[in-house]
C-alpha cells in the first residue's frame, strides 16, 4: 500500500486566501484523523471521522476551519479565510479500528508526510 | 482526561550506548500504546504497537514495554547509532475507536 497520501506537501499563501488540504487514507482503514503540529503547541488533534462520519471536531480552532470526508478514500481540510497564525504542518492519519466494520483491527495509526502551510 | 508525559524532553548520547526513553500516562485503562519516530520535516513513523493485553513488543534493536498498572511504558534502543537521532513520541488510545493522546516527545541525538 502507498500509505496515507497528503497534498500539497507545501503551501504558501497570503492572509485571507482559502486553503484546501487533501488526504487519501490507507485503503480499508475506517478512521481518519487530522492533526496540526507547531513548535509551540506540539501535535493537536483537530477532527476525526469514523466510517466517513465526523465524530469529534472540538479541536477545530475556529469556524474558519472545516473538514469533510465524502467517501472512504478522500478527505479535505479547508481554512477560509487563512491567517498567519494558521501556519503549521497539518497531518492526516488513518487506522483500522476494532468495533468498526472493515479491515485488520489492530488500531495502529499511520501518518501521512504532512502539508506544511505558510500564511504570509 | 488522559495525559501523556515523556521524560526527558531531550537526550544526547554517544554512539553505541543502550538507552531508555520513558512514557507515563495518567489513566491506566488504555486500549493500546504506540511509539512513533519523527525525523525533522517528516511525518510520524510507527515503530511499535502494544495492545493492552501485551507486556512488550520488539522490532530489531527496539523493545517497548508496557506496565498498565503503573501507567508506564519504556522504549529501549540497543546499540544506538547516529541514524537513530530523531524525536520519539508515545501515544495511548483509550478505546478502540477513539483518537490517540500524544506526549510531547523526546528529542534524541546520538553522537558519532
Q: Which of A4, A43, A48 to mutate to test the interface with B (most CBs of B within 10 A)?
A: A43
* CA–CA–CA angle B53, B97, B62 (5° rounding): 45
Comparison of pLDDT for B74 and B94, the residue scoring more: B74
* CA–CA–CA angle B78, B79, B84 (5° rounding): 85
Q: What is the pLDDT of residues B6-36, one digit of tens each?
A: 999 999 999 999 999 999 999 999 999 999 9
Q: What sign for the dihedral angle of Cα B106, A8, A81, A65?
A: negative
Q: Which residues of A touch B (CB under 8 A)?
A: 31, 33, 42-43, 45, 48, 50, 55-56, 91, 93, 97-100, 105-114, 116
Cell numbers for B32: 493500546
Interchain CB contacts (distance < 8 Å): A and B: 52
Q: Do A109 and B102 touch (CB under 8 A)?
A: no
Could you tell me which residues are beta bridge partners of residue A91? A35
B42 DSSP 8-state letter: S
The whole-number pLDDT of residue A41 equals 87
User: pLDDT tens digits, chain A, 120 residues: what are they?
Assistant: 689 999 999 999 999 999 999 999 999 898 999 999 998 888 999 999 999 999 999 999 889 999 999 999 999 999 999 999 999 999 999 998 765 554 456 788 999 999 999 999
The whole-number pLDDT of residue A105 equals 60
* pLDDT at B54 exceeding the cut of 60: yes
Rounded Cα distance between A68 and A54, Å, is 8
CA atoms within 13 A on the CB side of A15: 4
Q: Do B46 and A110 touch (CB under 8 A)?
A: yes
Amino acid at each position: 500500500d502507498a500509505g496515507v497520501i497528503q497534498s500539497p506537501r507545501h503551501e504558501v499563501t497570503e492572509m485571507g486566501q482559502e486553503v484546501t488540504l487533501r488526504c487519501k487514507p490507507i485503503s480499508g482503514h475506517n478512521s481518519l484523523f487530522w492533526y496540526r503540529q507547531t513548535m509551540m503547541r506540539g501535535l493537536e488533534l483537530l477532527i476525526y471521522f469514523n466510517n466517513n462520519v465526523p465524530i469529534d471536531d472540538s479541536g477545530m480552532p475556529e469556524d474558519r476551519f472545516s473538514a469533510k470526508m465524502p467517501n472512504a478514500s478522500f478527505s479535505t481540510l479547508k481554512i477560509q479565510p487563512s491567517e498567519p497564525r494558521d501556519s503549521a504542518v497539518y497531518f492526516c492519519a488513518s487506522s483500522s479500528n476494532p468495533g468498526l466494520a472493515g479491515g485488520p483491527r489492530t488500531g495502529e495509526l499511520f501518518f501521512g508526510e504532512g502539508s506544511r502551510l505558510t500564511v504570509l | 482526561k488522559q495525559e501523556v508525559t515523556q521524560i526527558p524532553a531531550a537526550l544526547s548520547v554517544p554512539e553505541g550506548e543502550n538507552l531508555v526513553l520513558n512514557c507515563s500516562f495518567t489513566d491506566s485503562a488504555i486500549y493500546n500504546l504506540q511509539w512513533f519516530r519523527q525525523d525533522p520535516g517528516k511525518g510520524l513513523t510507527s515503530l511499535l504497537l502494544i495492545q493492552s493485553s501485551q507486556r512488550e513488543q520488539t522490532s530489531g534493536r527496539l523493545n517497548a514495554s508496557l506496565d498498565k498498572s503503573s501507567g508506564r511504558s519504556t522504549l529501549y534502543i540497543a546499540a544506538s547509532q547516529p541514524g537513530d537521532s530523531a524525536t520519539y513520541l508515545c501515544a495511548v488510545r483509550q478505546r478502540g475507536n477513539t483518537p490517540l493522546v500524544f506526549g510531547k516527545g523526546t528529542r534524541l541525538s546520538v553522537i558519532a
